Amino acid sequence: MSFPPAQYFIYGSDSFTERPVSRSAYEDRSLWPKQIWLLPEGTRSLLPWTIVKSDAGYVFQSRGAPTGEAEGAVVAIINQTLDPYISWIVEPATNDQELFRIRTHDRKYWTVEEEIGRVGHRVGFPKYMTTYFKKKLSDLSLRCQGISNSKD
């Protein structure tokens, strides 16, 4: 499975509603990793994610920061000298060509915690509901904002 380098919106689904997966609009300015959240219903995704192919999978970037794992959570890595980012594996979730699961190489899937936090549900690695990302074709037009598919 291959995705062109492009920008995507990521949504989590609990079988009833789709909600955006993103960093919070309200973050401190430290260089600590920033939590990824399933935002509350009715919230619009702040910015699209950039997905870039790497040798080992895909790097998911939220607001320019690659993602990784810290304390069982999916986080945006702000200071890459302190925290490593992860090349994620992307696999189909169902027969729907727009739904995918995201996991580590050791088969830990992005999931959403049942308990709601200050911004929404924390995205991490517990065993509740699976998080998918859904590509929106209207967001894959030539408005890729600085990401080119050409080799010139």
For residue 71, being part of any structural domain is answered with yes
Whether residue 144 is contained in a domain is answered as no
**Would residue 58 count as lying in a domain?**
yes
- The model's confidence at residue 139, banded by pLDDT at 50, 70 and 90, is very low
Q: HEC profile for the chain?
A: CCCCCEEECCEEECCCCEEEEEECCCCCCCCCCEEEEECCCCCCCCCCEEEEEECCEEEEEECCEEEEEECCEEEECCCCCCCCCCCEEEEECCCCCCEEEEECCCCCECEEEEEECCCCEEEECCCCEEEEEECCHHHHCCCCCCCCCCCC
Total count of domains within the chain: 1
Reply yes or no on whether the pLDDT at 2 is more than 50.
Answer: yes
Residue 143 lies in a domain: no
Q: Is residue 74 part of a domain?
A: yes
Mean pLDDT over residues 61-67, rounded? 95
Quote the pTM value: 0.80
Q: Give the domain range for residue 10.
A: 6-137
Mean pLDDT, residues 112-141 taken together: 60
What mean pLDDT comes out for the span 46-70? 92
Of 127, 120, 130, which Cα lies nearest the Cα of 20?
120
Structure tokens given for 100: 């995918």
What's the pLDDT at 64? 93
Within-domain flag for 145: no
Instruction: With beta carbons less than 8 A apart as the criterion, state whether 112 and 80 touch.
Output: no
Whichever domain contains 111, its CATH number is 2.80.10.50
Residue in the structure block whose two tokens are 């920061």: 65
